[in-house]
Amino acid sequence: MSFEITKQILKLEKILHQRFLENNLNFYNKSKKKHKKQILFHKCKKKNRWVFGGNRSGKTECGAVEVVYMACGLHPYRKNKPTEGWVVSLSRQVQRDVAQKKILQYLPSYLIEKIVMVSGGQDSAENGVIDFILVKSCAGGTSKIGFKSCDQGREKFQGASLDYVWFDEEPPEDIYNECKMRVFDKKGDIFGTMTPLKGLTWVYKTIYLNEKQDPQIWMETMEWADNPFLPKKEIENLTKSMSKDELESRRYGKFMQNCGMVYSEFDENVNVIEPFDIPFDWQDCISIDPGLHNPLSAHFYATDFDGNVYVVAEHYDSEKTIEYHAAKIKEIAEKLHWKTDSRGNYQAWIDSAAKQRTLASTKNVVELFYEQGIITNSNVNKDLFAGISVVKSYIKNAEGKSRLFIFKNCVNLIREIKNYWWGDDDVPIKKDDHCLDELRYFLMTKTKNQKKIEKNEIQKDKEMLIKKLKFKYNLKN
């Protein structure tokens, strides 16, 4: 009797081991090599997640695995339940060759209850076009993976109530909006994986720039170097075969306009950081680009002892009075415990145009800020091209090191950097650059003031004597 039980146990263990080997999920990011950005995507709890990746960066892989996780009730970072969702491809042929193929690669065969085909047979589903797959969920019940293609038109995307929609490559905007309504009832997820080859489309504005500041939008870029399973030799060969513009989109997953980005060196994964408490000694200055009908932009800048610059807070608003702007700037300053002069005033750099007096006012902007306790210095260097060069060197210098770090709460500055493009005659397009103007003012003025003046021994002794006298008689100036 015990022999028969042992025999059954061994048989069961063999079946389980075989299932383990057949289940590619067991090997996804489980080796010493891990695709860290794929893991970040799966861990993210936001409802609208996008990966902009180059070809073969691993973007489609993580989209397919996310679908399988949800359908099988095996998600390692979420509460599992039976789900119904759609996989949306550009066409039926692309569905068969890309998204469908990846899902079948990771979907455990022993969990498949039924496959319904549009064309082809169930016995070789990978060679046909699938309509939907019914999957046994480990959370109990049955999940359904439906397949759609954008060439069917928006009307074919109506009516359903879904837990998720995965877009494999960029869909038309009307289909995206229709799919958002499909997940609305269940508070479901939208996620997309794509290589941005169509230029500055609606995805660029809605997702990448997040113009409406939707807190549920999350995005990440993937490039070849992020994929630890892509051989370095292959990366070298592919790099040599492509133009600079092709590399930006097909390797780095970046959006491109024909004329190119001004600050193409900007890397959100490097230059944008989580906020932290800045030491008092790092506090540097406030920089302001004034505007009445146009937005007024103000940022607080800090500099560490290695010369790295941190943009730690921002005020950005339009069609408001100077009194309003000053109050908001002072409110931020108080929260940061920002330094003041001996009279309790805040110091700031400002565009020299702020000294101009309009016919509608007897006082200029500099004077109005002064009345509100903000002393502004308009003696800034406004050289556009020299300023752009300096900003570029801070974003990424010749050695490949970054010296400019922006707190992620400075959303308008980040948006403007990502949306700053060269126009005709090698001049940047003059649009939405208020934050960038005052960033230039600060860095240009800072660079100018960083020039060291060598002092002789007499000058040094004189300064030491003055300091001693000030300390002895408690003099502030």
pLDDT of amino acid 198: 78
Residues forming CATH 3.40.50.300 domain(s) in the chain: 36-256
d(CA 172, CA 249): 19
Least confident of 8-17, 92-101, 273-282: 8-17
List b or e across 197-234, with b for residues whose CB sees 16 or more CB atoms inside 10 angstroms. Answer: eeebbebbbbbbbbeeeeeebbbbbbbbebbeebeeee
Nearest partner of 336 among 303, 304, 305, 314, judged by Cα: 314
> Range with the lowest mean pLDDT among 92-106, 213-227, 318-332, 424-438?
424-438
Task: Evaluate whether 171 touches 153 at the Cβ level (below 8 Å).
Answer: no
Q: What is the pLDDT of residue 9?
A: 63
Q: What's residue 359's pLDDT?
A: 44
Of 85-89, 262-266, 327-331, 466-470, least confident by mean pLDDT is 466-470
Give pLDDT tens digits for 359-396: 456 788 999 999 999 999 998 888 887 888 889 989 98
pLDDT at 273: 96
Q: In what order do the strands lie in the sheet with 374-377?
A: 272-273, 404-407, 309-317, 296-303, 283-289, 346-350, 374-377
Dmax over CA atoms of the chain, in Å, equals 104
Angstrom CA distances, 194 to 62, 255, 271, 417, stand at 11, 11, 23, 22
Mean pLDDT over 440-444 rounds to 92
What is the percent of the chain where pLDDT is above 90?
58
pLDDT digits (tens, 9 = 90+) for 256-282: 765 678 898 899 999 999 999 999 999
Show the tokens assigned to 177.
């909006």
User: Where in the sequence of the chain do the CATH 3.30.420.280 domains occur?
Assistant: 258-477
Q: What is the homologous superfamily of the domain 36-256 according to CATH?
A: P-loop containing nucleotide triphosphate hydrolases (3.40.50.300)
CB 412 within 8 A of CB 315: no
pTM of the model: 0.64
CATH class of 258-477: alpha beta
> Whole-number mean pLDDT of the chain?
87
